[in-house]
Homo-oligomer: A and B are copies of this chain.
Amino acid sequence: LQTVKKIALIVGGGTGSRMGSDVPKQFLSLAGKPVLFHTLEKFRDIADHIVLVLPDAQFHYWKRLCTDHHFDLPHILVAGGATRSQSVFNGLQSLNADGVVAIHDAVRPLVSEQLITTLFNDAITHGSAVPVIPVRESLRKKSGKAVNREDYLIVQTPQCFRIDDIMAAYIHAGNSSFSDDASVFECNGGAIHTVEGESGNFKITFREDLAAAEAMITSIK
């Protein structure tokens, strides 16, 4: 396993509008530092390289945050696109490397290092590794009736793939819209290997999520 390069591709976007805030969610303060610092640090001891995709309008703000907080974790900054898929594709294009890539949401700072390690290793063995958790709430189809939530899984990130496979899948997908990288991979014939995710590895989308994240970090320490 040691010779396979492990790349973290962290994808940020958003405008913060759902948080009732002008600051994009990845920059909000969590336990004393920006959410994104927590996220990147989770990959520090595991990934060989970290690539961060952000809207280029946020580059200046991000660099100032890093300077102001003396945040010196090495990473490559890549400009995102108009959609999440385009941002991931831009990030993948910047990788001139073999190996495996973990594509991760910037706003999931609570993923554990153990899960990241498992996902990288499983992707090397199985060609893909995607964390999933059970559906906690009842589900129904918009155009129909209730469905059995036991038949479904919630998909988290990081989603790990061999770099050339996921790159080929993104090229094949073109401009189609997908909600996650596993879907893109699958539409090019890839088989998804699932791994048990973590209930604590949630996305910071709403104001209350930030408080929940803060409580988790405080209780872990």
Q: A138-B182, A142-B153, A186-B146 known; A208 and B203 CB under 8 Å? A: no
Kindly provide the distance from the CB of A87 to the nearest chain B CB, expressed in whole angstroms: 16
Q: A143-B151, A186-B145 known; A180 and B215 CB under 8 Å? A: no
A219 at the interface (CB under 8 A from B): yes
Please name all residues of chain B whose beta carbon is closer than 8 Å to the beta carbon of A180 when the two chains form the complex: 138, 146
A103 at the interface (CB under 8 A from B): no
Identical subunits present: 2
Find A182's partner among B140, B214, B219 (CB 8 Å cutoff): B140
CA distance in complex: A147, B137 (Å): 17
Find A154's partner among B137, B178, B182, B214 (CB 8 Å cutoff): B137
Q: Are A149 and B211 in contact (CB under 8 A)?
A: no
Please name all residues of chain B whose beta carbon is closer than 8 Å to the beta carbon of A216 when the two chains form the complex: 207-208, 211
CA distance in complex: A147, B151 (Å): 12
Please name all residues of chain B whose beta carbon is closer than 8 Å to the beta carbon of A209 when the two chains form the complex: 212
Q: Are B203 and A199 in contact (CB under 8 A)?
A: no
Complex A-B, nearest 3 residue pairs according to Cβ-Cβ distance, in ascending order:
A211-B215, A212-B212, A138-B155
